């Protein structure tokens, strides 16, 4: 079942999009409605498991103005307002078309995309950003180190997955830095960056408020805490990049402490999309995505994963 926003499609006399430290944009609904965007995806990323990552998923409403528009294996989330749309993460290069189709299927217009934010710059979460930004003119924002990676089209030198040969994606030269704690605005949407350098040096969580029927909730799109890395990479004993373990634990604590009623993550498996959709289908009066303990539980699992990785590396010495 596809959940449609009651305000879509948008018909406005005018709109103003405000972005903190980003260029402001202004237009009219008439010209926006007439403007047709043509998405031209970049060449498909090739890997042994890419077809599985790109398996289609039907879009759905999570809560209020927040919608899932990603694939069955890679999360992308849309935040909608009458003044424009915000997208979190862009999937792989071949995922861009699916994201665009899912946005349209919900009743929104891809032409209204104003801002794309990224949790971390790997091929499976940043690959589609360049094409989506080209097509729509949307601004792109990430953390300081995240922007470094987006601009070069590959992870930074100190990224645990830098040594994975195919971890590349189309560069996003226009990406702008969102400072830690900075809030970016598109109409009445306000998304705040929280630096969480764990999975990558540029990882960031994004939070916003989402309201429905007078009930406003804190939504957190937390980045991955996975310790997956290139062969030979060590989280311990790295003289070139000291303090990595402390930084990782600090990132975990940041997510645990965020106001959080709804947790979203780069992988839908990590926040139980399949199970929650099944529960909601069984009882539509209860929204299973609402869980005030989810961020703390996710953080605890992330710390346990780091401890396991440390134990493995220690045993290898």
Dump pLDDT digits (tens) for 279-299. 999 999 999 999 999 999 999
Helix 244-257 / helix 294-316 crossing angle, nearest 10 deg? 160
What's the 3-state SS for 35-87? CCCCCCCCCCCCCCCHHHHCCCCCCEEEECCEEECCCCCCCCEEEEECCEEEE
Average pLDDT over residues 46-63: 97
Predicted confidence at residue 241, as pLDDT, reads: 77
Predicted confidence at residue 34, as pLDDT, reads: 43
Chain centroid to Cα 93, Å, comes to: 15
Dump pLDDT digits (tens) for 212-235. 999 999 999 999 999 999 998 999
The CATH architecture annotation of domain 53-316 reads 4-Layer Sandwich (3.60)
> Where exactly are the structural domains of the chain?
53-316
Strand duo 25-28 + 14-17: pairing: antiparallel
pLDDT-derived band of residue 165, with 50, 70 and 90 as boundaries? confident
21-25, 46-50, 171-175, 204-208: which range is least confident on average?
A: 21-25
Dump pLDDT digits (tens) for 25-50. 333 333 344 467 999 999 999 999 99
Is the pLDDT at 127 greater than 70? The verdict is yes
Predicted confidence at residue 311, as pLDDT, reads: 97
Is the pLDDT at 10 greater than 70? The verdict is no
Average pLDDT over residues 149-159: 97
Average pLDDT over residues 38-67: 97
Sign of the dihedral defined by the CA atoms of residues 252, 258, 260, 266, in that order: negative
Is the pLDDT at 239 greater than 90? The verdict is no
Is the pLDDT at 24 greater than 50? The verdict is no
- In sequence order, the 6+-apart residues with CB closer than 8 A to the CB of 220 are 205, 206, 207, 255, 258, 259, 260, 262, 263, 264, 295
57: number of Cβ within 10 Å: 20
Predicted confidence at residue 78, as pLDDT, reads: 99
- In sequence order, the 6+-apart residues with CB closer than 8 A to the CB of 55 are 71, 72, 73
Dump pLDDT digits (tens) for 71-103. 999 999 999 999 999 999 999 999 999 999 999
User: CA-to-CA distance for 120 and 125, rounded, in angstroms?
Assistant: 7
1-5, 19-23, 266-270: which range is least confident on average?
A: 19-23
- pTM of the predicted structure, to 2 decimals: 0.89
Q: What is the mean pLDDT of the chain?
A: 90
Predicted confidence at residue 35, as pLDDT, reads: 62
* % the chain with pLDDT above 90: 85
| Ramachandran region, residue 80 (left: φ > 0; alpha: ψ -120 to 50; beta: rest) | beta
Angle value at C-alpha 230, between 168 and 92, nearest 5 degrees? 30
């Amino acid at each position: 079942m596809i959940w449609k926003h009651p305000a879509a499609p948008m018909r406005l006399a005018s709109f103003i999009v405000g972005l903190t430290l980003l260029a402001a944009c202004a237009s009219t609904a008439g010209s926006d409605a007439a403007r047709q965007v043509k998405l031209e995806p970049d060449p498909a990323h090739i890997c042994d498991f890419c077809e599985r990552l790109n398996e289609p998923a039907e879009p759905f409403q999570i809560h209020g103005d927040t919608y899932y528009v990603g694939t069955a294996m890679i999360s992308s989330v849309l935040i909608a307002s009458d003044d424009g749309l915000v997208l979190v993460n862009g999937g792989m290069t071949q995922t861009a078309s699916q994201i665009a189709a899912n946005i349209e299927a919900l009743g929104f217009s891809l032409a209204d995309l104003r801002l794309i934010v990224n949790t971390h710059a790997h091929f499976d979460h940043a690959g589609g950003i360049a094409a989506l930004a080209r097509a729509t003119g949307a601004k792109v924002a990430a953390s300081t180190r995240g922007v470094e990676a987006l601009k070069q089209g590959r992870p930074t030198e100190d990224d645990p997955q830098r040594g994975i040969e195919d971890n590349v994606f189309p560069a996003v030269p226009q990406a702008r830095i969102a400072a830690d704690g900075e809030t970016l605005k598109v109409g009445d949407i306000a998304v705040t960056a929280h630096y969480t350098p764990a999975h990558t040096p540029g990882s960031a969580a994004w939070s916003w408020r989402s309201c429905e029927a007078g009930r406003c909730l804190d939504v957190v799109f937390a980045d991955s805490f996975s310790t997956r890395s290139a062969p030979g990479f060590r989280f311990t004993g790295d003289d070139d990049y000291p303090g990595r373990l402390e930084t990782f634990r600090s990132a975990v604590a940041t997510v645990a402490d965020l106001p959080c009623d709804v947790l979203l993550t780069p992988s839908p498996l990590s926040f139980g999309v399949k199970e929650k959709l099944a529960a909601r289908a069984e009882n539509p009066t209860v929204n299973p995505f609402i869980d005030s303990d989810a961020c703390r539980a996710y953080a605890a699992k992330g710390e346990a994963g780091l401890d396991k990785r440390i134990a493995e590396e220690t045993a290898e010495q």
